[in-house]
Amino acid sequence: MPKGDLLAPSRTAGYNSPVPPVSQAIRVKVLFFGRLKDLVGHAEDSGEFAEATTIEQLFALYTARYPELAKYRSSVVASRNQEFAAWDTPLYSGDEVAFLPPVSGG
Amino acid sequence: MAKHPHDDINQLVREPIDMAALARLVRAPEDGAVVTFDGFVRNQSHNRPTLYLDYEAYESMALAKMREIGLQIHEKYRIHRVAMVHRLGRLEIGETSVFIAVSAPHRAAAFDACRFAIDTLKRTVPIWKKEYFEDGAVWADGELPPVPAATPRAKPAS
């Protein structure tokens, strides 16, 4: 999957730009497991997103790309950096987010 | 991997689990009981004959959650040591997918802790199984882990 194409590129300063960038993009690693991985077609993605993107917004961006994801929204939980996380959790550069279907170990 | 404060064993493995070795490892002279749980692959699911199962995990998080369960049961019960091992990959009927051994000075704490450990593992550890049948494969129904409803503040990754 092409990198960082989920959002329009953020406004960044050009080489000779007199002004600093207004908003910085964050780089986030995104993981999919179980049926979500099957649906998306790969287990791992990495992209650049707008600063302060929440987990909910991130899922919505992937839903726009893979519309079938929408029907799993109510049966998915998310984690940020290996901890279960609320949907409104804002993301920071370097974060690892995973979308997890109901677990069935044991 | 960092040494566990209680000398517990938490592993994800791709080979058969050596249950006898683990049960031996957790026991010490001051203990009086070891309770073990051996979870293995059933030959059917909802009355459909199963061919085999394939397990996958979010490995780094699964190990962290298994360690958390160990710490929780040390806090809740008077136990000595815990071994918790889950196997990943393709497993045939009858093969052990998860094994837990808990040692304790007295049996009641070991029984309670072992039960709590497997129940919590099945609800919170990010592991998934795909069931293969004659006519196809499905991801097993699972449990949705409890997640904070909303976050008051999130800290940047350190």
Amino acid at B158: S
Whether residue A14 lies inside any domain: the answer is no
Whether residue A30 lies inside any domain: the answer is yes
pLDDT of residue A20: 55
A52 touches chain B (CB under 8 A): no
**3-class secondary structure for B124-157?**
HCCEEEEEEECCEEEECCCECCCCCCCCCCCCCC
The confidence band for A4, taking pLDDT boundaries of 50, 70 and 90, is very low
Rg of chain B on CA atoms, in Å = 17
Between B1 and A97, residue with greater pLDDT = A97
Percentage of chain A exceeding pLDDT 90: 77
Half-sphere exposure of A56 (CA within 13 A, CB side): 8
Structure confidence by residue, pLDDT tens digits, A37-80: 999 999 999 999 999 999 999 999 999 999 999 999 999 999 99
Q: Give the burial class of B58: count Cβ atoms within 10 A of its Cβ; 0-12 exposed, 13-18 middle, 19 or more buried.
A: buried
Do A89 and A80 form a contact (C-beta atoms < 8 A)? yes
User: Phi and psi for A24 in degrees, rounded to 5?
Assistant: -100, 140
In chain A, the number of structural domains is 1
- Which residues on adjacent β-strands are paired with residue B104? B33
pLDDT of residue A63: 97
CATH number at residue A93: 3.10.20.30
A26 touches chain B (CB under 8 A): no
Whether residue A19 lies inside any domain: the answer is no
**Mean pLDDT, chain A, as a whole number?**
87
Shortest CB distance from B121 goes to which of A35, A89, A106? A106
Give the C-alpha separation, B77 to B98, whole Å: 21
**3-class secondary structure for A59-95?**
HHHHHHHCHHHHHHHHHCEEEECCEEECCCCECCCCC
- For chain B, the structural domain boundaries read 9-135
- Asked if the B9-135 domain carries CATH number 3.30.43.10, the reply is no
Whether residue A79 lies inside any domain: the answer is yes
Neighbours of B65 (CB within 10 A): 27
User: Phi and psi for B137 in degrees, rounded to 5?
Assistant: -135, 145
Q: Do B128 and A80 lie within an 8 Å CB cutoff?
A: no
ipTM (interface predicted TM): 0.89
CA B80 to chain A, closest CA, distance in angstroms equals 23
Q: What is the mean pLDDT of residues B14-27?
A: 98
Give residue A89's domain range: 25-100
For residue B37, give both structure tokens.
Answer: 């749980």
Structure confidence by residue, pLDDT tens digits, B103-139: 999 999 999 999 999 999 999 999 999 999 999 999 9
A86 touches chain B (CB under 8 A): yes
